Structures are given as structure tokens and as C-alpha cells.
Amino acid sequence: MNIHTFENEQELNEAGAGIITGLVQMQPGAVLGLATGGTPVGIYEELVKAYKKGRVSFKKSTTFNLDEYVGLPEDHVESYHAYMKQHLFDHIDIPAGQIHIPDGNAPDLIEECKRYNKELEKAKQIDLQILGLGHNGHIGFNEPDHSLVSGTHLVELKQETREANARFFASIDEVPTHALTMGVGTILKAKSILLVVRGEDKAEIVHRALTGPIQTEIPATLLQTHPHLVVLLDAAAGRYF
Ligand code: GLP
């Protein structure tokens, strides 16, 4: 595991974007696993800048998003479909057919999970999976539990996760109760993983996740088993390292 701590948020963003553009430059057909939430926004901004400067093209790349809320219309500003368009896809040259995001409005959510797993199987392996970290140690929407699910599945969100994400909605009542998420098996199958964590409020959980006992009650501890894990922390999140 490679842990880098940055004093400066901009340097962190540039480092994160640099890892992604470096991969896509070398391997234009790379399969990228993408995350949402507040954490990767600055990295996506740097990716868009690199694209606009002609340094990278995503024409041949494929993307798989980690997760999506259940029951939020795709054009709702807080859906992960809308987020990805706003922060990345509307500004780069990736063809729409190469973008994959679970459909949280599918009439049969279990069938939708199966469909997403099939798409992932067709792609064989994610080359680089970008991850943020939940305050309770969740990755994607794989919440703490006595056991974890390997493939894409339907989850009921923990109250603490809904509270953490309520900042993006008018009130907590508007935060969906369920989501579809890629499973930890798929995440761990990625060739490389880029975990990005920011802020004092995540300093303790990221330290426990990367140095504590491996346990399903902190899903991110499983990342310790991955052979190619790069961690980017800002100074606040990295204070215990
Ligand atoms: C969200 C997402 C995760 C994200 C995490 C942290 O609920 N499902 O993919 O990594 O929680 O979010 P943030 O970056 O906003 O702190």
C-alpha cells in the first residue's frame, strides 16, 4: 500500500488526476471505476482541464460507477447519473455507450443488479477503481455488516450514511433509503485501487481502515488485502499516519 499525504488540496487533486490520465494515456481502452460524493470532485475538475488542454482523450475508455440511489429520478440533481454528467461526462469525449451506472429506477432492481454484474463481467476487470470513504468505513454503498456481498446488490442505507449525505439534499427525509452498489468482490478485483480521503472527520476511520483488524463491520479494512492500493490523503485526514 502506498500512502501519500498532501498539505495542499490542489496538489492532491492534481496527483489523483495524474494517476488517471497517466493510465488512460498509456492504455486508452482502460476500464475506470468511478466514485461520487464530495471527495473526487476536485480530481474530476483536473481531469476535465487535462482533457481540454488535449493531454488525454477518453474516447476509448469505459467507465463503471460504484453506485446509485434507488428511486431518485436520473435528472434529479443529486442522482449519481446527474452528478457524473455535471462533474465529468458532459465535459469530456467519452461515448455514452461506454458509460455504466446502475439504474436505481429499474422496474426490477434485482434484475438490474444482475444486468450490471454481466456488464462488469464483459469488461473483465476494472483497471483503476477510484474510491472515497464513508464515515462508517463504507466503500461504494457497502455498509458495515456481519457479512459483505461480492457482486452488485441492493442495500438499505444506514441512518448515519443518510445523515452524512443529507447535506446535499433539502432535508434528510429526501435522502433515499436504498441504493444499488457494486460489491466488495468487484471492487477488490480491480487491478489497482485509488482511495481518496479528505478532512479531519475521516482521520480516525481512514487510520482504522488501513491499519486496524480486517473486519466486515468496517468494509474499507478489506482494502488492506489489495496488492495495488494507492491512498491520497489531505493533511487533515492523514493526521494519524
Ligand atoms: C457516499 C458514496 C461513496 C462515497 C462516500 C463518501 O455515500 N456512496 O461512494 O465515497 O459516501 O462521500 P463524500 O466523498 O461525500 O464524503
Q: Give the ipTM.
A: 0.96
33-53 per-position pLDDT tens digit:
999 999 999 999 999 999 999
Instruction: Give yes or no for a contact between 43 and 154, defined as CB atoms under 8 angstroms apart.
Output: no
* Domain boundaries defined on the chain: 2-234
Choose one of 41, 44, 138 to mutate for the ligand 1 pocket test, by most ligand atoms within 8 angstroms of C-beta: 138
The residue-averaged pLDDT of 88-99 equals 98
Ligand 1 pocket by C-beta < 6 Å: which residues? 35-39, 66-67, 132-134, 140-141, 161, 165
Å from CA of 111 to ligand 1 middle: 25
Which sign, positive or negative, has the C-alpha torsion 153, 94, 78, 163? positive
Q: Which protein residue's CA is at the shortest distance from atom 11 of ligand 1?
A: 134
Å from CA of 37 to ligand 1 middle: 4
123-180 per-position pLDDT tens digit:
999 999 999 999 999 999 999 999 999 999 999 999 999 999 999 999 999 999 999 9
Total residue length of the chain: 241
Which three cell numbers mark 202?
475521516
CATH of 2-234, one of 3.30.1490.190, 3.40.50.1360, 1.10.3720.10, 1.10.3080.10: 3.40.50.1360
User: Helices 9-26 and 41-52, interaxial angle, to 10°?
Assistant: 50
Which sign, positive or negative, has the C-alpha torsion 11, 12, 15, 16? negative
Å from CA of 3 to ligand 1 middle: 20
- Its pTM stands at 0.97
Residues annotated as catalytic (active site), given as ranges? 67, 136, 138, 143
Rounded Cα distance between 232 and 45, Å, is: 16
Helix (H, G, I), strand (E, B) or coil at 237: coil
Rounded Cα distance between 80 and 139, Å, is: 15
Which three cell numbers mark 117?
454484474
Å from CA of 59 to ligand 1 middle: 27
Of the pLDDT bands very low, low, confident and very high (cuts 50, 70, 90), residue 217 is very high
